[in-house]
Structure 1
Amino acid sequence: MNTSSAPRSDWKVLCENRRKAQQDSIPREWLLSELPPISQRNVLDIPSKSGILTPRELGITETTDLGVILQKLRSNEWTSVEVTTAFYKRAVIAHQLTNCLTEIFVDRALERARYLDEMLEKTGKPLGPLHGLPVSLKDQFTMKGLETIMGYVSSIGKHAESDSVLVEILYKCGAVPFVRTNVPQTLMWGETYNHVFGRTLNPYNRTLTPGGSSGGEGALVAMKGSPLGVGTDIGGSLRIPSAFCGLYTLRPSYGRLPYYGAANALMGQESILSVLGPMTNSLSGVIEFVKAIIYEKPWDLDPVVIRKPWSEAEYKLSEHGEDGAQLCFAIMWDNGVVRPHPPLLRAMKMTKDALEAAGHKVIEWECHRHIEIYKNAETIFVADGNHDYKTQCALSGEPLIQTMIPTDDEEYQDHDYEPHNPLVKELLWQLHDEKRELRKSHLDHWNRTVSRTGTGRPVDAIISPAVPYTAVPHGLNYDAFYTTLCNALDYSTSMFPVTHVDPKIDVPHEPHDFYNHEDEMIFKLYQTDKFAGCPVGLQLIGRTLEEEAILKMTEIVDDALSKWKAMTMQI
């Protein structure tokens, strides 16, 4: 069908009006005088060259260590108004280049910032651990009086009557929520595109995806348009954008951080829970966020949150040799389903060398029942036969998006979505039982590594890719099992950047014996020049509810990499 000549329907008009309202919410003086040509792929340096930010504002937004930003806010060296304004300007520039934002509410955010500055002036005390800090939020976290569109046309015009629990706690912590960020329709894509706001681009290379479903946060934080973003993760939606955009994040275990009141897809699906986590340019930002939220006792506001205060003993690795002087990591070179591209293999080799140089032990991880875990998780995700997605789309008449590959007319993809048969409850219960058995089997497998570590403990953490490639062309990010493995098993997992693709080093490998058709397709996807300069990151996988320990071990890995790079002069 020739979509360009299709009659315009009401849902299209709603989208046009909503985009216009978004554009009208941007102060005119924050608009770029001229947009770069689409042929300019990397746009990371445009904010500093735009002339929109003052030298002081550039200094504020170029400060990536969140601990430094918070210290300057608490001491009143930087006011919340000037920090919020600086990041707001940069966020709007990032949006013009990558289309990363949904909600822009400048007056509301600056009013909050002025209130915090006045309180600090009057009392001499910061309001909370995140005093004055602007925080961006994925377009799931409801804020009273604002729409939470979440990628669906049917949500246009529906304003929240209350804040989600996370937003409540952020206010208690003294934060300034200031923008919300783009997501895919249904949330269940590793790409960020919907009919309302369109497609989000990767600032490292705009022909590539920033990932999904927290792709708006990934692009924004990579552009340094936010010092701290909050996304969610049900199958990799925090870690994939963080990998593609060179960021740090944490995928906590179920119920560790408060999710109540957030909008979501597949509401009521509690077999594999979506969780929230921070996305930042520094590991300190991840730690500051987790500590701040837990210190506010989120279990008093969200009945699903586990009553577990921040444990300094666990952070000091009380169950991992106390001081972490010698840890044993295992590297998952591949997952037995898809082999990683050359840059990921190099990143793992770099990390192994760095850890061994720092006195730690590194062994090879032996994969365990991965195909069974993968099939179990994917069957759970489609258990309702796509009823949720189709119902939401039917409310407005918008078509259900079937592909993230760009089309001639991205506003309209009118095709019949191939349905899945919904599972009867007995089969779903069988999946739950099977998942529990798989988790127990994997736990036992992990514990048996004590015979190989030499530390008297099982492997302390696993290092693996989050995805088998770096950022890829739009529509081609379709493998998420490296991340979904952790969601299915509920392992606390961090993400950390390691290096960037170097075409001189990361040359294509010779074909291997492919595991399956997908492995072959992903192998053929790699072209050295296509991914030049893209960030390369890895995930660090810990045990269930082991957030404090995994954050400390990520610090250890990050520090080892920094020292090793300095010693070997590698970047």
Structure 2
Amino acid sequence: MSTTTTTWQELVTDKKRRQTEAIPKSWLISTPPPSELIVTGVPEACGLLTEKEVLITNTEVVLLLEKLASAEWSSVEVTTAFYKRAIVAQQLVNCLTEIFVDRALARARELDDHLKLTGKVIGPLHGLPISLKDQLRIKGLETTMALTGLVSPGYVSWIGKYAEKNSVLVDILYECGANPFVQTNVPQTLMWPETFNNVFGRTANPHNRSLTSGGSSGGEGALVALRGSPIGIGSDIGGSIRIPAAFNGLYGLRPSYGRVPYAGAVNSMEGQDSVPSVFGPICNSIGGVKTLMKAIIDSKPWLKDPLAVRKKWDEEDYSLAEHGHGKNLVFGIVWNNGHTVPHPPIIRALEMTKAALEAAGHKVIDWLPHRDKELCDTVYAIWNAGCMQDFNSVTSLTGEPLIDNMLLEAASSEAVVAGFRPPLNSGATAFELWQLQKTKLKLRQEYLDLWQETSKMAGTGRPIDAIISPVAPFTATPHGLNKDASYTSIFNALDYPSFVFPVTRVDPVKDGKKPPHQFLSPEDEANYSIYDPETFLNAPVSLQLSGRTLEEEAVIAMTEIVDVALKTQK
């Protein structure tokens, strides 16, 4: 379909029609009315999935792989079960973009035939269905998010274009025996912590559909939360894995730059490499995150991606050899970032985590913010140096409007989410950009020095082992109100691997609104004003654990320790 003779609205209508036609008619369900906000129980209650399919889709990744490897469960039946549940999720929260049932089932049959013929699995992820954020190219599939050589995440412009080859990460997943089976929704331009675009529309949060699923990996977060996928791949430039993971009550890892290959994928602001985006997993279990990360790293991605870091999976790091082998750990805890005080449920989650860790024999000390706002502002200025030119160069191809807010209804310019759509005349000269990059490096050095100095108060002879902090000053917000990514963006600037873990849920009794405090900023006052526990009903409450650069194995292991401590306390 030619964009020179067809309006962008007609392109969208045709694409949505073809997406709908890709869904087997027998997999359509009677969906609950919009007034039914909590839909996490619908996949099991709707009657589409058999008892065994419910069992399969509720099984965690590690056990799922064991059953696939032993041929107790075939790849065909596992893929079918998750595909049916993914289609249910799509009908409930609108989380998918590309649907290719026949192709995924053909791959599943190939995997089953190989195992039956040879008695061996193809790789460590044999038969595992994996969902992919719609940035990753799969050869031969239409990818409305991108065209080879050009970038268009969440745009109308490249409807009808097909990927000529796989992204490197997709090649690796296939080599490991995985079965990529759906692609998931993103916001227009990717640069937004919510998920809405002019092609596929809005993705809602299954825990409360009046709330956002987060972004920009919001389709992944919502899909995995409904167990329509055992594990998904998201990307994170300022919190885009961690925010959806947190808002949907999942585990999500933001690795350091280059630990997971990015080559062949598409992105907004390509060429901006001072604060690059990274790929990482979103899952219902820590074990699934570890399994996927190890499989990817063991595949030696640095041989396929020139920017991938040459660092093998380090079992010594995972054993926490440099962290007292996991005994008597010391955590820094962030109560607020000096700019915005978190809502009561987040404070309660911090208190719960501190108590659980201390009960388990670990130590928790306060980590005071150090120029956090300056660091985040520097990062935003780096992104803003050329982002509007990047966005407008793509939307102008079809006349598609640039979305300037994520509210449910059109709003005035006063409602625009600050920091995510800079003024049209914003930008920086090359020299000004260099100064921003110098500032970022200076602040990274200061953080490193501060971390080292904590050895004086830790009591273990070493610095603190990790930082525990909010993912945002709120849980999932009503659509259009996610205005603060500072709690995540700081770790993108520092390049610290960060792992989100669920703690609790909003409780209207325990999380009542507190009296006004002395506000730290106008944003702090605005954040205080939107809180009402009934508005955030049933929202998951999560935190993040951050280690030092390229310390993914240790971060995974320490998050396991925190997770066990919390579950023991419960």
The 8 Å contact of residues 259 and 302 in structure 1, kept in 2 or not, is answered as yes
Aligned to 1:492: 497
1:230-245 matches, within 5 Å, as 230-245=233-248
1:86 equivalent in alignment to 2:118: no
Aligned to 2:418: none
Residue by residue over 1:295-334, the C-alpha shift from the partner in whole angstroms, topping out at 9 and shown as x without a partner, is 100001001001100000000011111x211100011000
**Counterpart code for 1:393:** T
1:13 equivalent in alignment to 2:16: no
Give aligned pairs, total: 551
**Counterpart code for 1:145:** G
**Counterpart code for 2:234:** G
Aligned to 1:341: 343
Aligned to 2:112: 117
1:406 equivalent in alignment to 2:408: yes
Q: 1:219 aligns with which of 214, 219, 222?
A: 222
Aligned to 2:558: 553
Between the aligned partners of 1:477 and 1:259, the Cα distance in structure 2 is: 27
In the superposition, the TM-score normalised over structure 2's length comes to 0.95
Aligned to 2:138: 143
**Counterpart code for 2:359:** A
Between the aligned partners of 1:502 and 1:339, the Cα distance in structure 2 is: 19
Residue by residue over 1:163-222, the C-alpha shift from the partner in whole angstroms, topping out at 9 and shown as x without a partner, is 000000000000000000000001001110000000001001111100000000000000
Between the aligned partners of 2:312 and 2:114, the Cα distance in structure 1 is: 28
1:154-303 matches, within 5 Å, as 154-303=157-306
Between the aligned partners of 2:143 and 2:191, the Cα distance in structure 1 is: 17
Aligned to 1:37: 33
Aligned to 1:127: 122
How well do the aligned residues superpose, as a CA RMSD in angstroms? 1.5
The 8 Å contact of residues 402 and 417 in structure 1, kept in 2 or not, is answered as no
1:492-531 matches, within 5 Å, as 492-531=497-536
Extract structure 1 runs of 4+ deviating beyond 6 A.
none
Aligned to 2:150: none
The 8 Å contact of residues 269 and 387 in structure 2, kept in 1 or not, is answered as no
Residue 304 of structure 1 aligns to a residue whose secondary structure is coil
After the TM superposition, which of the residue ranges 91-100 and 399-408 deviates more from structure 2? Answer: 399-408
Percent identity of paired positions between Structure 1 and Structure 2 = 57
Q: 1:542 aligns with which of 532, 543, 547?
A: 547
Residue 534 of structure 2 aligns to a residue whose secondary structure is helix
The 8 Å contact of residues 255 and 498 in structure 2, kept in 1 or not, is answered as yes
**Counterpart code for 1:163:** N
Aligned to 2:361: 359
After the TM superposition, which of the residue ranges 366-375 and 178-187 deviates more from structure 2? Answer: 366-375
**Counterpart code for 1:234:** I
Residue by residue over 1:376-401, the C-alpha shift from the partner in whole angstroms, topping out at 9 and shown as x without a partner, is 11101101151000111001110000
Q: 2:372 aligns with which of 356, 370, 373?
A: 370
1:437 equivalent in alignment to 2:480: no
1:326 equivalent in alignment to 2:328: yes
**Structure 2: gaps of 5 or more residues:** 146-153, 416-420
Residue 247 of structure 2 aligns to a residue whose secondary structure is helix
Between the aligned partners of 1:200 and 1:472, the Cα distance in structure 2 is: 13
Between the aligned partners of 2:326 and 2:410, the Cα distance in structure 1 is: 54
**Structure 1: gaps of 5 or more residues:** 1-7, 566-571
The 8 Å contact of residues 388 and 422 in structure 2, kept in 1 or not, is answered as no
Could you tell me how far 1:408 is from its partner in structure 2?
Answer: 6.2
In the superposition, the TM-score normalised over structure 1's length comes to 0.95
The 8 Å contact of residues 208 and 473 in structure 1, kept in 2 or not, is answered as yes
The 8 Å contact of residues 260 and 296 in structure 2, kept in 1 or not, is answered as yes
**Counterpart code for 1:474:** H
The 8 Å contact of residues 243 and 496 in structure 1, kept in 2 or not, is answered as yes
Between the aligned partners of 2:66 and 2:134, the Cα distance in structure 1 is: 28
